[in-house]
Amino acid sequence: MPRWDIFCTVIDNYGDIAVTWRLARQLVAEHGINVRLWVDDLHPLAALYPGIDSGALRQTLCGVEVCLWPADFPDVEIADVVIEAFACDIPDNYIAAMAASAVKPRWINLEYLSAEDWVAGCHRLPSPHPRLPLVKHFFFPGFTPDTGGLLREHGLIDRRRAFQASATAQREFWTQLGISPDPAACKISLFGYENPALPALLQAWVDNPTPICCVLPDSRLSPQVSAFFGENKPWQRGNLTMHRLSFLDQDSYDQLLWACDMNFVRGEDSFVRALWAGQPFIWHIYPQADNAHHAKLNAFLALYQRGLNSGSAVQLTSFWHCWNQLPSGTLNWQAWQSTYPQLKYHHEAWVEQLIQQADLAINLVKDQ
């Protein structure tokens, strides 16, 4: 059985560990690979998968050997394939062991997701080590066949469609959350980073002519929502009813995206899961210095809008730009809502194209 090591450092959010944990589980379950996942902080992973002991040095869950990555890294047997997720630095003694091995492991730098044009040209490019007899290869996730693809477990789309076709499954899910949405309400999930546009959006939902049921998984938006409602309990004003949830594990969060009519997401992991949910969504991209994330946002919008009528494309761009603090954006909730049928049809068609491509795990395995 091939052995893979995946290294992941947790920075300030859940995205890096969320992606690597999904990848590790899929490699084990669908490709029979022996995976060891090295993580420098297990507390965020414990939020995503509550069965994890955040203090254990080693444990096996879902077939994945999860190891705490200590500052003083031990001498361990190297793997056949080594993945450094999102440009983290593999320990020096591990690299030295790789160089000393008679059979060099495949060394992959798994990059962040982007729709920018240059990604396809850089995908799989070699990067020789400046001093050691090792070569690292860049591996870029992406939305086109000439990139590494997106994480998508086998049968994910079928499970999602079955859930969305079953009123019983959805009713049971809402009951588990302790929520009874108004049948006439637009159901929205709200997950993101701090956002100055949020108060205006909440007020637009309060003034909406029809009911809105908004579900708020715990995130950096939670304090803003709490400040908006003040001492009011429950969180209900006008036609807006808010439901605050504790942090959801990955499987429950997937179902929340499936159950809602519209999803606000952030970063990379929830962004990709919103794509597979088959519903219109709004993405809060991870902010970067010098607004470098604006180019990434616009690159995705350009790709995503292909085939969408011009009027809906304008509303989509304007709303996304405002949500991401681009000066060209306008938060026009009513205009956005009016384009919903066109956006839903377009999104479903776009997903149909994406699922014709191989997923990220398959492409990684084929690349070895």
CB neighbourhood size of 221 (10 A)? 20
Catalytic residue from among 5, 84, 111, 268: 268
Q: What 3-state class would DSSP assign to 22?
A: helix
Element (H, E) at 15: helix 15-31
Gap between the Cα atoms of 341 and 338, Å rounded: 8
Inter-residue contact 94 to 101 (CB < 8 Å): no
For helices 156-165 and 269-277, the axis angle rounded to 10 degrees is 60
16 is known as an active-site residue? yes
**Cα separation, 74 vs 247, whole angstroms:** 33
Catalytic residue among 16, 84, 254, 359: 16
Q: Is 228 helix (H, G, I), strand (E, B) or coil?
A: helix
Q: How many CB atoms lie within 10 A of CB 110?
A: 25
Cα angle 82, 120, 250; round to 5: 55
3-state secondary structure 307-349: CCCHHHHHHHHHHHHHHCCCCCCCCCHHHHHHCHHHHHHHHHH
CA distances from 351 to 111, 150, 263, 345 (A): 22, 12, 15, 10
Known catalytic residues are: 16, 268
